[in-house]
């Protein structure tokens, strides 16, 4: 009986199945493709090739009755930009650019709003850009400029991206940047920005006109190849965060500031509105405890301190190797005892 119901269910037309999954968020809806080949069939991307940016922009930025997916081929000069595009009914657009095999060239991504004439209106509220490359930067900038009601932007895994210059309108609320290994400079101007998250190598970050910024996550993973730690730039960044209430920061970052001679209690500013601090490190010792204690001097209104000590990968690998070595020694001991008993067994010769 159950098999018959499954058969009837999967016999629905593609349009019906698409309407059903449209009740799910886009990210969860796409995961239905792993259920069976029948579900996978509704997520086969439609091919779309054009030389006109306007055609793609109109297709991506308009309203959607069901979740949609396309494989876009955008012709620009002698090059072709390949993009996998997913569009959700809740105003979400995800673009994944094809990663180039040759070495990435460095590039700058400038994102700024555009005053549009006529009755053009974009339904996009969330834009997720993944693997933006040198060829795709102009298209990304154009698309961003048309999203006049955009609330959230995510940039992920953009190799070669060195400079991000973002200017947003009053609708913009959230920016997340992660895994951009060549990033050197980030400039943000967004007066209604509430949330900013950065994960990756330490760049120069300049925040302008961001007085409503409430939550910040600075998950720095060390320095880039051609960049040195500049304590003055970092102190200027902290000074621009005086209005924030929630901060996530790595212990390495505070240690570098203390090592550079920064004495927090002597700074000319304090984070008077900071209520929650999330401190992350791979270990806990006297040095990073002292750096944390120094940083707390500029947090007079702090109510909650969350400390997360995460074991580093090398430590876990070493622990695993020691465990394997112990198991090997136990196995050798067992074999030794077994063969010792077998060799000492008395034989009767007739």
Asked whether residue 305 is domain-assigned, the answer is no
Task: Answer yes or no: are the C-beta atoms of 230 and 259 closer than 8 Å.
Answer: no
The larger pLDDT score, comparing residue 56 to residue 5, is at 56
Phi, psi of 333 (to 5 degrees): -65, -40
Least confident interval from 31-45, 56-70, 104-118, 250-264: 31-45
List all residues 6 or more positions away from 117 whose beta carbon is below 8 Å from its beta carbon: none
| 68-76 vs 46-50, strand pairing mode | parallel
Give the per-residue pLDDT at 38: 53
The larger pLDDT score, comparing residue 32 to residue 267, is at 267
User: In terms of residue numbers, what domain contains 58?
Assistant: 45-228
List all residues 6 or more positions away from 257 whose beta carbon is below 8 Å from its beta carbon: 231, 234, 235, 264, 291, 295
> For 215-253, b where at least 16 C-beta lie within 10 A, e where not — what string?
ebbbebeeebeeeeeeeeebbebbebbeebebbbbbbbb
Q: What is the pLDDT of residues 64-112, one digit of tens each?
A: 666 777 777 777 666 777 788 888 777 888 888 877 655 466 778 888 8
Closest residue by Cα to residue 256 from 291, 294, 286: 291
Whether 347 shows a pLDDT value over 70: the answer reads: no
| In the chain, alpha helices (H) | 2-10, 14-21, 26-30, 37-41, 53-61, 137-146, 231-239, 251-259, 286-295, 313-343
> For 71-85, b where at least 16 C-beta lie within 10 A, e where not — what string?
ebbbeeeeeebebbb
Task: Answer yes or no: are the C-beta atoms of 114 and 146 closer than 8 Å.
Answer: yes
Q: What is the pLDDT of residues 290-310, one digit of tens each?
A: 888 889 999 999 999 998 877
DSSP state of 43: T
Give the per-residue pLDDT at 44: 46
Whether 287 shows a pLDDT value over 60: the answer reads: yes
- Any idea of the CA torsion for 98, 91, 153, 143, to the nearest 10 degrees? 60
Partner residues linked to 71 by β-bridges: 47, 84
Asked whether residue 2 is domain-assigned, the answer is no
Asked whether residue 94 is domain-assigned, the answer is yes
Give the per-residue pLDDT at 284: 74
Give the per-residue pLDDT at 81: 76
Asked whether residue 89 is domain-assigned, the answer is yes
Q: Which pair of tokens denotes residue 324?
A: 């394997």
Task: Answer yes or no: are the C-beta atoms of 273 and 243 closer than 8 Å.
Answer: yes
Q: How many Cα atoms within 13 Å fall on the side-chain side of residue 198?
A: 24
Whether 217 shows a pLDDT value over 90: the answer reads: yes
The pLDDT-based confidence of 146 (bands split at 50, 70, 90) is confident
Give the per-residue pLDDT at 306: 92
Asked whether residue 207 is domain-assigned, the answer is yes
Looking at the structure of the chain, the number of domains it has is 1
Percentage of residues in the chain with pLDDT exceeding 70?
A: 73
Whether 170 shows a pLDDT value over 60: the answer reads: yes
Asked whether residue 185 is domain-assigned, the answer is yes
Asked whether residue 118 is domain-assigned, the answer is yes
Asked whether residue 251 is domain-assigned, the answer is no
Give the per-residue pLDDT at 119: 45
């Amino acid at each position: 009986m159950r098999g018959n119901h499954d058969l009837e269910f999967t016999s629905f037309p593609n349009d019906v199945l698409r309407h059903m999954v449209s009740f799910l968020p886009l990210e969860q809806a796409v995961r239905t493709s792993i259920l069976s080949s029948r579900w996978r069939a509704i997520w086969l991307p439609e091919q779309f090739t054009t030389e006109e940016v306007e055609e793609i922009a109109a297709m991506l930025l308009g309203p959607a009755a069901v979740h949609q997916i396309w494989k876009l081929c955008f012709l620009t000069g002698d090059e072709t930009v390949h993009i996998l595009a997913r569009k959700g009914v809740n105003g979400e657009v995800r673009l994944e650019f094809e990663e180039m095999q040759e070495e990435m060239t460095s590039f700058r991504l400038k994102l700024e709003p555009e005053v549009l004439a006529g009755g053009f209106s974009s339904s996009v509220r969330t834009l997720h850009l993944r693997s933006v490359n040198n060829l795709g930067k102009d298209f990304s900038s154009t698309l961003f400029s048309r999203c006049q009601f955009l609330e959230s932007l995510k940039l992920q895994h953009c190799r070669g991206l060195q400079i991000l210059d973002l200017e947003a309108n009053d609708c913009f609320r959230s920016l997340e940047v992660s895994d951009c290994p060549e990033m050197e400079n980030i400039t943000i101007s967004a007066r209604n920005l509430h949330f900013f998250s950065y994960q990756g190598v330490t760049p120069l970050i300049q925040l302008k006109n961001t007085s409503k910024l409430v939550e910040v996550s600075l998950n720095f993973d060390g320095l880039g190849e051609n960049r040195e730690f500049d304590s003055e730039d970092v102190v200027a960044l902290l000074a621009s965060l005086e209005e924030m209430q929630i901060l996530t920061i790595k212990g390495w970052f505070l240690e570098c500031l203390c090592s550079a001679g920064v004495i927090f209690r002597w700074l000319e500013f304090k984070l008077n509105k900071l209520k929650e601090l999330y401190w992350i490190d791979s270990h806990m010792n006297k040095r990073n405890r002292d750096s944390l204690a120094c940083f707390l001097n500029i947090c007079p209104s702090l109510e909650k301190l969350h400390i997360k000590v995460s074991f580093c990968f090398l430590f876990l690998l070493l622990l695993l190797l020691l465990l394997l070595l112990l198991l090997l020694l136990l196995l050798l001991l067992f074999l030794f005892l077994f063969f010792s008993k077998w060799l000492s067994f008395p034989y009767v010769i007739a």
